[in-house]
Structure 1
Amino acid sequence: MPGKEKMGVLRFFQQIAFPLRIFLLLLLVSTLLIAALGQYLSASFEDYLLNHVRDMAMNQARIIASNDSLIAAVKNRDSTRLGAIVGKLSTGSDFDYVVIGDSHSIRLYHPNPAKIGYPMQWTKPGALEKGESYFITGEGSIGMAMRAKTPIFDEQGKVIGVVSLGYLVSKIDSWRLDFLLPLAGVFVVILVILMLLSWLFAAHIRRQMLGMEPRQIARVVRQQEALFGSVYEGLIAVDSEGFITAINRNARKMLGLSSPGRQWLGKPITDVVQPAGFFTENIAQKRQDVVCTFNGLNVIANRGAIHCSHGAPAGVIVSFRSKDEISTLNAQLTQIKQYVESLRTLRHEHLNWMSTLSGLLQMKEYDRVLEMVKGESQAQQELIDTLRRSFNDRQVAGLLFGKSQRARELGLVLNIAPGSQLFQLPDGLDSTEFSAIVGNLLDNAFDASLKNPDGNKIIELYLSDEGTEVVIDVADQGCGVPEALREAIFEQGVSTKTDNKDAHGIGLYLIVSYISRCGGVITLEDNEPCGSLFSVFIPKVKESNDSTDYDSDC
């Protein structure tokens, strides 16, 4: 049964909330410390008080025993004289009584005259013969007292009597209480203060632990480690001082860090990643899809702030992925999108064609059928031949063919200006990135043209690499860019497509990042009579002193 009761108490204690357990533990420890300190101080004061009373009683007894008048009165056995002398000596003293006896311990003086002539109590055998002074405690004729006894010597040094000076135990107890009661009050106040501090400390722990139990925190930590390990992207968490608090295996692999992850914890991010501005600058600001360079690796990075309970930034967590992987995926997705758009357009046109051809055949208009087939086939082939002659990059040519078909499907016209050509991509841009620039500009022009019913639905494209720069001009007669967005239209998250929930404001931002990386510029002007004109100028060969490879914030 005792073992079961102990296990039950232990289980009950474990079920109590952790902050409450901390409070109870601190309260128990404080109570034990206060009790131990009280016991120590009480015992120390007890020893001090007894020693003090003994010293004081013996000194006073020896002073009385050395009084010449008292010695003479003892010799003459003059009890009246002894009473007068003791009364005078006791004035201003705190002892309770004095008893004087002769050399045989027969009382010569006693506060109670009826006790005179009787033997003194609590005497030590042989003490008077040897001239010894001693203490003795016991119940006497006046009460329980602690007595100091010392012999009385005459001029020749012979013992002629004894002085017994006593302090009642009740008085000593009252002195003890006078000290212990205030001390107990102080201990109670200290205990109350410790209880309050313990409760505040427990509440602080509860806040720091977000109200979770240690087992819950351990589970969260294990989940975080598993989550960090399972994420394919690189993840690095940094505190507000710039020290690494977490890093996953993929991040170490991409950054070329071969040591175990725990070795990097607590190290400055500036010693691990170069450059480290993305981790330490303006950490309260959320960043998304930023092109950066970490340890020579081109990455697409995202950053989210970690906030304290009071809202202040406590650090950041950065996720990133190799830009080469993103570019490969983007190329695949771009080609698939172009194929889908082309097939959708062709399917739509072929359905119309088949309907028209079916009607003409039923009407036996064979010449018209033959003419229609030849005309359409010739127009498609001319467009393909023109794109092949003017654009060496097949991905760019395929993009323009797909956009032409998409424009026709939307009821728009994409005019590629005469003289357009592209035989050399700008230094620093691959086919996918260059196609992304042209494709985003054309998509924006399509959307703007569809929003303006008064426009001519024509989008003009001029693309040329003649000279030292690659020039891209995209003009439309769409809704234009509002004046309020002119300054911020190229920033991430800014979009004119306010009616589209899927618009993220990333297209123009990515265009600017690609162009800036190559040392180029992009301008926005009003098109006449309405719409916008985007112009891009990218040097074919990037200047060697241009150090702006990627986003300046990285």
Structure 2
Amino acid sequence: MGKKILSLQTKITILIIIVVFISISITLPFITKRVMESVQNRLEINITNIAKIIAESPAIREALPRKDPNSIIQSYVSKLLKTVENVNFIVVADMNSIRYSHLNPERIGQKFVGGDQYRVIQKGETYISEATGTLGRSMRAFTPVYDLESNRQIGFVSVGTLIESIEEAKKKSIRTLIILAYIGALVGAVGAFLLSKNIKKTLMGLEPEEIINLYNEKVSMLDAIHEGIIAIDGNSRITLINDSALNILQMNDKYEMKDMIEKVVTDVFPTSRLPNVLKTGAAEYDKEQRINDTIIVTNRVPIKDGERIVGALATFRDKTKITRLAEEVTGVKQIVDALRANNHEFLNKLHVILGLLHIGEIEQAKKYILNVTESQQKILSIIIKRIKDPTIAGLILGKFSRAKELGIRIQVHEDTKLGADHKNISKNALITLIGNILENAMEAVSKTNKDEKIVKFRIEELEDKIEIEVEDFGVGIKEKDLEKIYKRGFTTKVGSEGVGLDLVKRTIDNLNGKIFVSSVLNKGTVVKITLPKEA
């Protein structure tokens, strides 16, 4: 089994969750430390402020010099303890460290325990210290108490919180922080899922690998397509154009594809109708148009995102090439050429007869007519007798006339025969094959300086197949070019498109036939074609 690839949505979700957890893991220790310091500072400020409030209380400042005979200090402190938070004890003592209040009333009158009270007694400072007293280890704030009248220090106040309580407060804050961190992580995970889902929706549910494949397919498709393609966005700026478009519009010597991107289409092609398609949203098919002195046949369609038009696309072909290719494919060109050759030969003969009549050579005119008629009848007899398909017969007769113009003699093999029904082999296919092969043979022979220029032709229909053989004694084909002759665009003829043998090969392949070409340079070429009659 192949390795399972995670989807884009899963990858994004996992990535964001990892980032969130790493961020929380990195920041949590620092935040925890700051929270613990904040709890500590808050408690220190709290107990210091309470100590100052008590030290400034008139009741305390009046009762302390009198040794508090009515226990006013203990009563005041007990009430206060019930109203404050995070305070475990409040002790008011005189300059001899004798307590006048305590959480345990039995310890009133005893000396303050801890040993950290001497700074407040000796220097009158307000400070925070940590020591072990009768209730255990605690953090306590000390502040002096002054007499109302003489402003002389008469004692001190100690407000404390047990270390155990401080640690519990810190733990509580940390627990709250961890809970918030988990809530943040959960929110991050949900956000990651929703974000990844939204991204996938934006990408139309496609995975990165699928997007890459689509891009590669698009590039390959544009390279393979011979039609010109131009696409524009909603602002009529070109977003896509291929090499074929530049070639058809004869602009490949001025621009490269990258130079065309982002240009306004009408700045480059003033007569372009793509902006009109963009405006109306109506598609246009098989429309003729002139752009840069080239007549094209084009299809234009709007590009839509739902109901919204976001651009327009045009595909087009050079009309001249379309017509020429259609003629090649359907065999019309071969028939037209044959008729033209026949017509030309007929006109030449009429001119000869007319000339003889003008100069009064009536007998010579009669002899010429008889000779021409006899020769023509002989050829017609051979072809019509052996070729029962009138279309193919007409094509071959036309090639005879064409050959005569070029000073070439076509020899028809005695085995030549063709019926009217060829089963799965169409007339158009035979026209394409015979017309192109004979034309190439005559072209090759006409280039030689031989006194006698001959092309041999045979078409033989058997029970299960049709064989076509053409032999010429022309210039031949170079051995290195034999592999290229079927390649579209390859030609040795001046002005040729190089589509003839490409069409021949495709026609043969479509009929599951075979072609064999042998050639010797400056001696000639033999072409043999076999076509099975059953599909």
Is the contact between residue 274 and residue 295 of structure 1 (CA under 8 Å) also seen in structure 2? no
SS state of the match for residue 20, structure 1?
helix
Is the contact between residue 227 and residue 315 of structure 2 (CA under 8 Å) also seen in structure 1? yes
**Structure 1 residue 221, shift from structure 2 partner:** 1.9
* Residue 333 of structure 2 corresponds to residue 335 of structure 1: yes
**Structure 1 residue 291, shift from structure 2 partner:** 0.8
AA at the equivalent of 2:218: Q
2:251 to 256, 262, 270: 256
**Structure 1 residue 25, shift from structure 2 partner:** 0.5
Q: Distance in 1 between matches of 2:34 and 2:88?
A: 25
TM-aligned CA distance change 1:207 to 1:113, over 3 Å: closer
Is the contact between residue 233 and residue 239 of structure 2 (CA under 8 Å) also seen in structure 1? yes
**Structure 1 residue 307, shift from structure 2 partner:** 5.2
1:92 to 83, 88, 99: 83
2:99 to 93, 101, 107: 107
Is the contact between residue 113 and residue 134 of structure 2 (CA under 8 Å) also seen in structure 1? no
Is the contact between residue 122 and residue 136 of structure 1 (CA under 8 Å) also seen in structure 2? no
- Corresponding residue for residue 447 of structure 2: none
AA at the equivalent of 2:266: T
Q: Distance in 2 between matches of 1:255 and 1:185?
A: 70
- Corresponding residue for residue 23 of structure 1: 13
* Residue 144 of structure 2 corresponds to residue 151 of structure 1: yes
Q: Distance in 1 between matches of 2:213 and 2:115?
A: 76
User: Per-residue displacement from partner, 1:331-389 (whole Å, max 9, x unpaired)?
Assistant: 6664324468999xxxxxxxxxxxxxxxxxxxxxxxxxx9xx99x99xx9xxxxxxxxx
TM-score by length of 1: 0.51
**Structure 1 residue 164, shift from structure 2 partner:** 0.5
AA at the equivalent of 2:101: Y
SS state of the match for residue 64, structure 2?
helix
TM-aligned CA distance change 1:234 to 1:169, over 3 Å: same
* Residue 113 of structure 2 corresponds to residue 120 of structure 1: yes
Is the contact between residue 242 and residue 280 of structure 1 (CA under 8 Å) also seen in structure 2? no
Is the contact between residue 301 and residue 321 of structure 1 (CA under 8 Å) also seen in structure 2? yes
What RMSD over aligned residues (CA atoms) do the two structures have, in Å? 4.2
Is the contact between residue 64 and residue 70 of structure 1 (CA under 8 Å) also seen in structure 2? yes
* Residue 299 of structure 2 corresponds to residue 299 of structure 1: no
Q: Distance in 1 between matches of 2:335 and 2:96?
A: 130
Matches within 5 A, 1:1-20: 15-20=5-10
User: Per-residue displacement from partner, 1:213-234 (whole Å, max 9, x unpaired)?
Assistant: 4344334323322332343332
- Corresponding residue for residue 73 of structure 1: 63
TM-aligned CA distance change 1:47 to 1:269, over 3 Å: farther
- Corresponding residue for residue 347 of structure 1: none
- Corresponding residue for residue 446 of structure 1: none
- Corresponding residue for residue 198 of structure 1: 192
AA at the equivalent of 2:215: V
Q: Distance in 2 between matches of 1:140 and 1:207?
A: 68
TM-aligned CA distance change 1:213 to 1:84, over 3 Å: closer
TM-aligned CA distance change 1:105 to 1:262, over 3 Å: farther
- Corresponding residue for residue 229 of structure 1: 223
AA at the equivalent of 1:24: I
2:50 to 41, 60, 63: 60
User: Per-residue displacement from partner, 1:160-185 (whole Å, max 9, x unpaired)?
Assistant: 32210123455556666776666665
SS state of the match for residue 111, structure 2?
coil
Question: How many residue pairs were aligned?
Answer: 340
SS state of the match for residue 109, structure 1?
coil
Q: Distance in 2 between matches of 1:202 and 1:162?
A: 65
**Structure 1 residue 235, shift from structure 2 partner:** 1.8
Is the contact between residue 146 and residue 154 of structure 2 (CA under 8 Å) also seen in structure 1? yes
Percent of aligned positions that are identical: 23
- Corresponding residue for residue 82 of structure 1: 73
Q: Distance in 1 between matches of 2:173 and 2:241?
A: 62
User: Per-residue displacement from partner, 1:447-470 (whole Å, max 9, x unpaired)?
Assistant: xxxxxxxxxxxxxxxxxxxxxxxx
- Corresponding residue for residue 217 of structure 1: 211
User: Per-residue displacement from partner, 1:113-149 (whole Å, max 9, x unpaired)?
Assistant: 3434134215165443111111124553224543111
AA at the equivalent of 2:193: W
TM-aligned CA distance change 1:85 to 1:22, over 3 Å: closer
Q: Distance in 2 between matches of 1:111 and 1:83?
A: 9
**Structure 1 residue 260, shift from structure 2 partner:** 3.3
**Structure 1 residue 314, shift from structure 2 partner:** 4.9
Q: Distance in 2 between matches of 1:32 and 1:173?
A: 27
Is the contact between residue 19 and residue 203 of structure 1 (CA under 8 Å) also seen in structure 2? yes
TM-aligned CA distance change 1:279 to 1:25, over 3 Å: same
AA at the equivalent of 1:84: S
| Alignment gaps of 5+ in structure 1 | 1-10, 344-369, 381-404, 410-554
- Corresponding residue for residue 317 of structure 1: 313
1:239 to 222, 233, 244: 233
- Corresponding residue for residue 135 of structure 1: 128
1:272 to 263, 268, 291: 268
Q: Distance in 1 between matches of 2:113 and 2:25?
A: 43
**Structure 1 residue 61, shift from structure 2 partner:** 0.9
TM-aligned CA distance change 1:86 to 1:65, over 3 Å: same
User: Per-residue displacement from partner, 1:310-344 (whole Å, max 9, x unpaired)?
Assistant: 5765544322222333344456664324468999x
SS state of the match for residue 263, structure 2?
coil
TM-aligned CA distance change 1:102 to 1:277, over 3 Å: same
AA at the equivalent of 1:278: L
- Corresponding residue for residue 385 of structure 1: none
| Alignment gaps of 5+ in structure 2 | 342-369, 381-389, 395-535
TM-aligned CA distance change 1:121 to 1:23, over 3 Å: same
AA at the equivalent of 2:49: N
TM-aligned CA distance change 1:269 to 1:123, over 3 Å: same
**Structure 1 residue 277, shift from structure 2 partner:** 1.9
AA at the equivalent of 1:194: G
